[in-house]
Amino acid sequence: MKYIIAIIQPDRLDDVIAALEEEEINLLTVSDCMGRGRQKGVAEVYRSHVDRSGLLHKLKVELAVGNNNVWQAVDAITRGARTGNIGDGKIFVLEMEECLRIRTGETGISALA
Amino acid sequence: MKYIIAIIQPDRLDEVIAALEEEEIILVTVSEVMGRGRQKGVAEVYRSHVERNGLLHKIKVEVAVNNNDVWRAVDAIANGARTGHVGDGKIFVLDMEECVRIRTGETGVSAIR
Amino acid sequence: MTSIDTGDTAWLLISTALVMLMTPGLAFFYGGLVRRKNILSIMVQCMMLVAVISLQWVAFGYSLSFGPDHAGIIGGLSWAGLHGVGLAPNPDYAATVPHQLFMVYQMMFAVITPALIIGAFAERMRFSAFLLFSVLWATIVYDPMAHWVWGAGGFLKEMGALDFAGGIVVHVSAGTGALAAALVLGRRRGYPEISPPHNLPFAILGAALLWFGWFGFNAGSALTSGTLAVSAFISTHMAAAAGALAWAVLEWVLSKRPTALGIISGAIAGLATVTPAAGYVTPAGAILIGFLTGIICYFSVVWVKARLGYDDSLDAFGVHGVGGMFGVLMTGILATTAVNPDGADGLAYGHAKQLLIQFLAMIICGAFSFVVSWGLLKLVDRVVGLRVSPDHENIGLDLTQHRESAYTIVG
């Protein structure tokens, strides 16, 4: 099983969710985050204080999938998130050891669906 | 490749980002979280209701790196975040299988930068 | 025989409510500028002052400030508990409104003045120390000073010092008290590496409420609903506008972008600075005051503070103190009896002595507030301790002083 973390532009979220739905991947978690990459961001100034971190607002989409569905999921996110511009984002695929459905206690692949 | 998750004090974010930048690690994702550890937090009271979860506001920093860069990244984060007080935070290093740049579809080591 | 004018009374009632709103406005202004873990501490402090100083004012504060004079220094206690302060007008202060209305109008000034100081010691002062300091400060600094400048028989009033709505009594006194607080308490842990303002929209909301309330503060100080109120109203607005524009343009030139915080900082600087001058200067004079103070306060906050290294966290001295002092002097230059026959002509209208009087009043009050504030802070430090522990400063005052948090992702 894999745990996928995608950092995307906020206004691409609907398209990413729709693309994942086409692959019948419904379970996902979305959160607000700030990010930077090649798109270096902009330094902020508050009275005398300069904040150079240059972070921009992004969304983080997280989902867990079975080994067979990894590329389906990655492709769907790419499809939904791509605009061709710098700042489109990144997808990270991490190894996941176990998954458990809290309600029933099921584990493994059957807990993913 | 590794995926690094660090939980730090909000005031240390600028220094952590600057320290990572010195190591030429530009791609960083930052989010707001609540956490607790040894720094037990404080029970909250609303009218007479006591809330004991003791969670404190923290910042989560996430970075993806090549195997060779793991310790440089970990050291940079630790140096930027350290004040010597309880509550300085934790760093977790996870195995990462794949990395995709959404704009171009590149994968692997070259997509990380 | 004096009689109540309903128009004057209506306007002063509204002005009183407007000035009351400024303290919660200040809570949003300051609250947005601190880190998220300390916003409630600012708001609790502001709201607590509304409660405590209102009661102090009725109990003895009003009497000390405006009661029958003792040697030009203090009002004495004969009006304590509002004894003899009834509904009939008092011609010494406001001949056309009930005496109690004048009293409650002045109460709101007594409330906001110590609240301004909060900006200097934000994010690190114990709540008990804050409360003790504020009540002592209101009694020992504010009340006598209000008597000197505004009280019948007050020595600065007799000397001819002009302070229309509180440039000396409110802004110079709070600003210099704030400087003492920043110096006595020391910097916040980690300063200057402190996270940026956590909620600028709140700060803008607060600044807007302050600007709105300031019409009551300045135009209400006419104490009548006539030409003088209109003149003060316009001066107030024009100085705020000019200050906001000056600060923003300066930022644009010097650091490439005009900012939200810059615009509201300039507006507040303009408002604070025009406060002593509002009922004495022409609209053009007010615009000049606003422009100049936008520039002066910008440099006091961005350059002077950074170079001297004190941590006046939210620039209570840099904006209110510096702006207030500058406004008191500008009153001595630009005041004209053409606007207010009860005022005086300033330097620009051939009366150089007025500038000297303003300068003396400013120095006396600024030095008095700075020195006494310093002493009070040292005293409070002995009694309850001024600062929270480093650990509590780390966690934040909302949780450690009040057991609440403003924002949470749980619940």
Q: What is the mean pLDDT of residues A8-19?
A: 93
Q: What are the chain C neighbours of B57 within 8 Å (beta carbons)?
A: 36-37, 396, 405, 407
Supply A107's token pair. Answer: 């584990």
Which of B8, B29, B33, B113 is the best mutation test for A, with the most CBs of A within 10 A? B29
Identify the segments of chain C with pLDDT beneath 50: none
Q: Which of B10, B42, B56 sits opposite C35 (nearest CB)?
A: B10
Collapsing DSSP to helix, strand or coil, B75 comes out as helix
Residue A55, pLDDT score? 83
pTM value is: 0.89
Q: Could C301 and A45 be called an inter-chain contact, meaning their C-beta atoms sit closer than 8 Å?
A: no
In a domain, A46, yes or no: no
Q: Is residue C409 part of a domain?
A: no
Residue C215 resides in a domain: yes
Residues of chain A found within 8 Å of residue B14, distances taken between Cβ atoms = 51-53
Positions in chain B whose pLDDT score sits under 70: 38-41, 48, 52
Write the CATH number for B12.
3.30.70.120
Answer whether residue C313 is part of any domain. Answer: yes
Asked if pLDDT for residue A51 goes beyond 70, the answer is no
Is residue A10 situated within a structural domain? yes
Say yes or no for a CB contact (<8 Å) between C410 and B13: no
Residue A23 is assigned to a structural domain of this protein: yes
Asked if residue A43 is part of any domain, the answer here is no
- Residue A49: band (very low, low, confident or very high) from pLDDT cuts 50, 70, 90: low
Contact B2, B63 (CB under 8 A): no
What local confidence, expressed as pLDDT, does residue A67 receive? 93
pLDDT at A1 over 80: yes
Q: Which of A31, A42, A44, A48 to mutate to test the interface with C (most CBs of C within 10 A)?
A: A48
Number of domains in chain C: 1
Domain enclosing residue B48, as ranges = 2-112
Three-state SS letters, chain C? CCCCCHHHHHHHHHHHHHHHHHHHHHHHHHHHHCCHHHHHHHHHHHHHHHHHHHHHHHHHHHHHHHCCCECCCECCCCCHHHCCCCCCCECCCECCCCHHHHHHHHHHHHHHHHHHHHHHHCCCECHHHHHHHHHHHHHHHHHHHHHHHHCCCCHHHHHCCCCCCCHHHHHHHHHHHHHHHHHHHCCCCCCCCCCCCCCHHHHHHHHHHHHHHHHHHHHHHHCCCCHHHHHHHHHHHHHHHHHHHHHHHHHHHHHCCCCHHHHHHHHHHHHHHHCCCCCCCCHHHHHHHHHHHHHHHHHHHHHHHHHHCCCCCCCHHHHHHHHHHHHHHHHHHHCCCCCCCCCCCCHHHCCHHHHHHHHHHHHHHHHHHHHHHHHHHHHHHHHCCCECCHHHHHHCHHHHHHCCCCCCCCC
Is residue A53 pLDDT above 80, yes or no? no
- CB of C212 closer than 8 Å to CB of C18: yes
In a domain, A26, yes or no: yes
Q: What is the pLDDT of residue B34?
A: 87
pLDDT over 90 percentage in chain A: 58
Q: Could you report the per-residue pLDDT of C269-293, keeping only the tens digit for each?
A: 999 999 999 999 999 999 999 999 9
Of A35, A78, A91, the CB nearest to B28: A35
Q: Is residue C411 part of a domain?
A: no
If one counts the domains in chain A, the total is: 1
pLDDT at C383: 96
Domain range for residue C163?
A: 6-402
Counting the structural domains of chain B, the total is 1
- The answer to whether residue C342 neighbours chain B at the CB level (below 8 Å) is no
Query: CATH number of the domain that A23 lies in?
Result: 3.30.70.120
* Residue pairs between chains A and C whose CB atoms are closer than 8 Å: 24
Any domain includes A32: yes
ipTM, 2 decimals? 0.83
Higher-confidence position of C38 and A47: C38
Interchain contact, C395 vs B9, CB within 8 Å: no
Partners of C303 on chain A (C-beta within 8 Å) are: 48
pLDDT above 70: percentage of residues in chain C: 99
Question: What residue in C sits closest to A52 (Cα-Cα)?
Answer: C196
B102·A82 Cβ contact <8 A: yes
CB atoms C194 and A49 under 8 Å: yes
Query: Residue A105: which pLDDT band, with cuts at 50, 70 and 90?
Result: confident
* Opening angle at CA C332, ends C326 and C337, nearest 5: 135
Pairwise CB contact (< 8 Å): C190 & B34: no
- Predicted local distance difference test score (pLDDT) of residue B40: 66
